[in-house]
């Protein structure tokens, strides 16, 4: 089983994806970490994130086994990750790893921006998770504070909106719902309710398949 979960920044996709993977015994890949790792490598080497040559080389050299998730989640890398993610050569370099990951038995949950549209268009279930920008900013603020990062809610909101715009407008694999994705609005849902809503959608899809 392959479950594709896409949506804008801080919409809750990652939490839902982790919980679904645990319940169904599937692998989980937070594909945002790949773009964050490329951004970190480019910044660490002293280059600008829109440097196509450097970003592409970093994407080709990436080793996801060596990821330090905590360092990659730092707000300082977040903006740059959406800049490298708009570079088609970077996306191309990261494609095989994601596709192979998706087909590892017994299956996987992948979350990102283009999973249902580009990486796994044949996924068994596709969710597109959304929430209002204000709710997403409030959640991200809590997340950053819990990790001990200083953060300002207004700046976080501005970052989310800027990234959503960049991610949606780029020509290479823009952020958008696949035509067959199920929309899940988590604006008024807590973590447990959002997870249950996702589970309900997946179980309904599976039950529908069995009946056919
Ligand atoms: O956690 P958050 O939703 O804020 O971001 P993320 O999922 O870690 O993704 C960081 C950035 O990577 C996004 O703003 C996108 O530009 C890019 N990304 C992408 O282009 N495609 C994906 N499949 C996943 C992330």
Q: Is 15 a pocket residue for ligand 1 (Cβ < 6 Å)? A: no
Burial pattern 84-111, b for ≥16 Cβ within 10 A else e, equals: bbbbebbbebbeebbeebbeeeebbbbb
Residue 212 has pLDDT above 70, yes or no: no
- The alpha carbon of 212 and the centre of ligand 1 are apart by a number of angstroms equal to 36
Average pLDDT over residues 163-190: 95
Residue 129 has pLDDT above 70, yes or no: yes
Q: Is 9 a pocket residue for ligand 1 (Cβ < 6 Å)? A: yes
Average pLDDT over residues 155-162: 95
Residue 210 has pLDDT above 90, yes or no: no
Residue 137 has pLDDT above 90, yes or no: yes
Q: Is 112 a pocket residue for ligand 1 (Cβ < 6 Å)? A: yes
User: How far is it, in rounded angstroms, from Cα 110 to Cα 123?
Assistant: 10
Query: Among the listed ranges 102-111, 128-137, 146-155, 186-195, which one has the minimum average pLDDT value?
Result: 146-155
Query: Among the listed ranges 74-78, 83-87, 90-94, 164-168, which one has the minimum average pLDDT value?
Result: 74-78
The 8-class DSSP code of residue 65 comes to: G
Name the average pLDDT for the chain.
95
182 closest CA partner among 205, 163, 166: 205
- The alpha carbon of 155 and the centre of ligand 1 are apart by a number of angstroms equal to 18
Q: Is 113 a pocket residue for ligand 1 (Cβ < 6 Å)? A: yes
Element of type H or E holding 96: helix 88-102
pLDDT at 107: 97
- Asked whether 6 and 129 are in contact (CB, 8 A), the reply is yes
Indicate the angle between helix axes 75-84 and 52-60, nearest 10 degrees: 100
- Asked whether 40 and 77 are in contact (CB, 8 A), the reply is yes
Residue 9 has pLDDT above 70, yes or no: yes
- Report the residue among 14, 16, 32 best suited for mutation to probe ligand 1: largest number of ligand atoms under 8 A from its CB: 32
Higher pLDDT, 55 or 148: 55
Q: Is 110 left (phi over 0), alpha (psi -120 to 50) or beta?
A: beta
Q: Is 170 a pocket residue for ligand 1 (Cβ < 6 Å)? A: no
Q: Is 7 a pocket residue for ligand 1 (Cβ < 6 Å)? A: no
| Secondary structure (3-state) at 57 | helix
Query: Among the listed ranges 25-39, 68-82, 105-119, 192-206, which one has the minimum average pLDDT value?
Result: 68-82
- The alpha carbon of 173 and the centre of ligand 1 are apart by a number of angstroms equal to 12
């Amino acid at each position: 089983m392959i479950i594709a979960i896409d949506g804008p920044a801080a919409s809750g996709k990652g939490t839902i994806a982790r919980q679904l993977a645990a319940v169904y015994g599937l692998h989980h890949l937070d594909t945002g970490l790949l773009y964050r790792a490329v951004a970190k490598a480019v910044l660490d080497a002293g280059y600008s994130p829109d440097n196509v040559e450097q970003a592409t080389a970093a994407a080709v050299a990436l080793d996801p086994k060596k990821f330090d998730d905590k360092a990659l989640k730092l707000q300082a890398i977040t903006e740059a990750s959406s800049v490298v993610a708009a570079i088609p050569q970077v996306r191309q370099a990261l494609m095989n790893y994601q596709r192979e990951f998706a087909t590892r038995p017994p299956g996987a949950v992948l979350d990102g921006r283009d999973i249902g549209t580009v990486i796994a268009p044949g996924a068994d279930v596709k969710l597109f998770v959304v929430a209002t920008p204000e709710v997403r900013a409030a959640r991200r603020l809590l997340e950053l504070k819990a990790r001990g990062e200083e953060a300002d809610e207004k700046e976080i909101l501005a970052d989310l909106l800027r990234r959503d715009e960049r991610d949606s407008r780029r020509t290479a694999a823009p952020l958008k719902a696949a035509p067959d994705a199920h929309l899940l609005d988590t604006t008024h849902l807590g973590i447990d309710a959002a997870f249950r809503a996702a589970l309900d959608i997946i179980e309904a899809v599976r039950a529908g398949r069995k009946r056919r």
